[in-house]
Amino acid sequence: MTVLTGELIAQYRRLDGASVSNAIEQFGVRLRNEGFADGSLRCLTAALPPVVGHAVTARIKCSSPPAVGHSYNDRTDWWNFIASVPSPRIIVVQDVDEQPGLGAWVGDVHTAILKALGCVAYVTNGSVRDVGAARETGVQFFASHVAVSHAFAHLLDFGGPVEIGGLGIATGDLLFGDDAGVLSVPASIADQVPRAAEEIRMKEEQVIAFCRSARFSIEGLRELVRDLG
């Protein structure tokens, strides 16, 4: 598991999702159509800064009552598990209902709990509610739906592999999220990604500046792109 130092967190928070994705591609550690959630997952708190953290996974259902109870205090062992994963933490919950999103497991109360437990984001293929509360606490919401009710939302299990928007996630995986979505960062290159992203950004800025300048020409553009690699 990657150790997220304060400096490394600060470096990631200065980036955006596209820059992180571009940087990861440079290392050739995975295929370019892997490692990110698809467009079914939306950032609902886009005004908040980017987040980076370790995934804490769980599975829920909302469409039918649980075998026993459905209040938060039925499964306080979940809170202990969250605390066992190094911070900062990103909660990743797969709604395994046939039609995910009928109810929302996380709203204002649960957001406050997650914030107190060192969580910086909540990611789900299901629903959330009380989005305004998330904005106020600074917890990023990434979800496929918004629901007015929690219905029968209840925890099935936690700690196992989940899939959100086509992205397979395990507890401990390093995730990055911003208004563009969520992607995983391979542990083997996690400490090298910010520098690689900055190098790419500097090259891109040269191309953009040239395109906006009075010196622009197609031949000049070809030469610049070739020189920058």
- Enumerate the H helices of 131-192 as residue ranges: 131-137
Among candidates 93, 122, 129, which has minimal Cα distance to 108?
A: 129
Q: With 90 as the cut, is the pLDDT of residue 61 above it?
A: yes
Which ranges of the chain would DSSP assign to H, the alpha helix?
6-13, 17-27, 77-84, 108-116, 131-137, 193-212, 218-228
Give the rounded percent of residues in the chain with a pLDDT score beyond 90: 90
**DSSP 8-state code for residue 229:** -
The phi, psi pair for 17, rounded to 5°, reads -60, -40
pLDDT of residue 43 exceeding 80, the answer is: yes
pLDDT at 68: 63
Q: Which residue pairs from 105-110 have beta carbons closer than 8 angstroms and sit at least 24 positions apart in sequence?
A: 105/60, 105/62, 105/150, 105/153, 105/154, 105/155, 107/133, 107/150, 108/133, 109/72, 110/72
The answer on pLDDT for 92 being more than 90 is yes
Q: How many helices (H) and strands (E) does the chain have?
A: 7, 11
Per residue in 122-150, pLDDT tens? 999 999 999 998 999 999 999 999 999 99
* Mean pLDDT score, 156-184: 97
pLDDT class of 75 with cuts at 50, 70, 90:
confident
Res. 71: pLDDT tops 90: no
Select the more confidently predicted residue: 118 or 3. Answer: 118
